[in-house]
Amino acid sequence: MLVHHSPVGMRYAADGGIGLRLAWYTHAGQVFPGTLLVKYRFPMYSGRHQIDGLTLLVSQGAGTFGPWMRLGSRNEVQIVNLVPKPRTDQGGS
């Protein structure tokens, strides 16, 4: 798992074997017209994305930094439940 402020660099993370990446930088533009422009700087600016074996989750943010307003985006708090994969080795002895 990789936690990084910005959602850029997905290919590097995927090539490095990262399975889950959390990011919270874009705020989905927060205020119009930023909500239209953000997709040019961050193609994966909100939501869940897949690239090879990597899952990227990008939060729009809780809205507690900068201007306490949104226009064209929404405040959100993501809850991520991490569940380990079942072990395949039954190991004896």
User: 32 or 82: whose pLDDT is higher?
Assistant: 82
Q: Give the C-alpha separation, 18 to 28, whole Å.
A: 24
**pTM, whole model, 2 decimals?**
0.70
49 - beta bridge partners?
Answer: 56
pLDDT digits (tens, 9 = 90+) for 14-68: 888 888 888 876 666 576 776 777 777 777 767 788 888 888 888 777 766 666 6
- Which CA distances in Å does 39 have to 6, 8, 33, 34, 44? 13, 12, 11, 9, 7
Q: Is 68 helix (H, G, I), strand (E, B) or coil?
A: coil
Q: Parallel, antiparallel, or unpaired: how do β-strands 47-51 and 54-58 relate?
A: antiparallel
- How much is the pLDDT for 25? 66
